[in-house]
Chain A
């Protein structure tokens, strides 16, 4: 199965790094979509089938938390797995996000290996 993945971060540099890592993994990818903030992410979700979302938290226009909260109230979007990638290291924040339904949390700075492992776990992919 090939996956459609949405990468949301206001930093073009970070989006480029994540896209590069995704292309280096063994995960079969159909298309990688990119958005600069939560609102653009929601717009992308309206128009495309997305299997996995990788999102930052602190972004202008709409934060990652606001986007996840909006998705949680939408029957069509609430089951799309979300991995948050952020500099925020607070356990309280991570708990809050997990209550809102995110699947995993990765702190920046991250390694390609750690990102790849978490994506495999969330998608239930086994490369062996």
Chain B
């Protein structure tokens, strides 16, 4: 499977999950014209998977996007949602659902995985740019917020190596 194919699957999965769970409709990011990454403060969520394949999924989400995500998930006005209680939790759940769906879309229903070590943290500007620099990442725009996904496989088997190459 080519890198482009994997990116296409990530695109479909992230879009599908955001549409179905939060009624949010991502659009492709215009990377050629430049995405104003520096305009936002980010939260990074990371989840490890192991089993038939292993690796991790990361999402970098603007803090203000997390607030909108929480409100949409809960079907409430943004002002009615407690940001301390819900915003990080919503980001974690988004990653959890995206990863579960991605693993099915990439490897099918017969593959068995465990999802562990879900982490969430705020990123400083420097940390954010060091994470995306040189990384193969997927970026889409949701209401002018960049939503970034990085999917990495550990090259344990030949199949994994060809999938990630």
Interface, chain B (partner A; CB < 8 A): 17, 20-21, 70, 73-75, 85-86, 89-90, 92-93, 96-97, 99-101, 103-104, 109-116
Contact = CB atoms under 8 A, between A and B. Distances in A.
B137 to A, nearest CB: 21
A34 to B, nearest CB: 14
A16 B97 CA distance: 16
12 contacts: A13-B73, A13-B93, A20-B74, A20-B75, A58-B116, A87-B97, A87-B101, A87-B115, A88-B115, A92-B112, A108-B100, A111-B20
A90 interface: yes
A22 to B, nearest CB: 14
Contacts of B90: 13
A67 to B, nearest CB: 16
A92 B20 CA distance: 25
Contacts, number: 60
Contacts of A11: 89, 92-93, 96
Contacts of B103: 89
A76 interface: no
A107 B109 CA distance: 12
Contacts of B21: 108-109
B116 to A, nearest CB: 7
A14 interface: yes
Contact of B74 (A16, A107, A109): A16
Interface string A91-105: 111000000000000
A12 B100 contact: no
A1 interface: no
A17 B85 CA distance: 14
Nearest to B86: A13
Nearest to A57: B115
Given A17-B74, A20-B74, A12 B89 contact: yes
Contacts of B101: 87, 89, 109
